[in-house]
Amino acid sequence: MEHGCGIDELHRYLSAQNRRPIHLIPMPFPERHLFGLWLKLDDFDIIAYEKAASASHKEHIIAHELSHIAFAHRGSVEFDHTDTSQLFTNAEPAAVRSMLMRSRYSDDEEQEAETMASLILARATKRWLEPAWGVPEEAAEIVARIENGVGHPDPS
Position 1 in a domain: no
**Higher-confidence position of 112 and 150:** 112
Q: What stretch of H or E contains 154?
A: none
Position 155 in a domain: no
HEC assignment per residue over 1-30? CCCCCCHHHHHHHHHHHHCCCEEEEEECCC
Q: How distant is the alpha carbon of residue 58 from its chain centre? A: 11
Instruction: List the domain range (segments joined by +) for residue 110.
Output: 7-138
User: Could you read off the pLDDT of 114-129 as tens digits, one per residue?
Assistant: 999 998 888 876 666 6
Position 148 in a domain: no
Say how far apart CA 46 and CA 102 lie, in whole Å: 12
Report how far apart the first and last C-alpha atoms of the chain are (Å, whole number).
37
- How many domains are contained in the chain? 1
Task: Measure the CA dihedral 42/139/19/98, to 10°.
Answer: -40
**Higher-confidence position of 45 and 101:** 45
Question: Where residue 91 sits, what CATH number does that domain have?
Answer: 1.10.10
Say how far apart CA 49 and CA 36 lie, in whole Å: 4
DSSP 49: E
Please give the single-letter amino acid code of residue 82: T
Position 153 in a domain: no
- The model's confidence at residue 59, banded by pLDDT at 50, 70 and 90, is very high
Please give the single-letter amino acid code of residue 100: L
User: Could you read off the pLDDT of 63-106 as tens digits, one per residue?
Assistant: 999 999 999 887 643 334 444 444 454 555 555 545 544 445 56
Position 152 in a domain: no
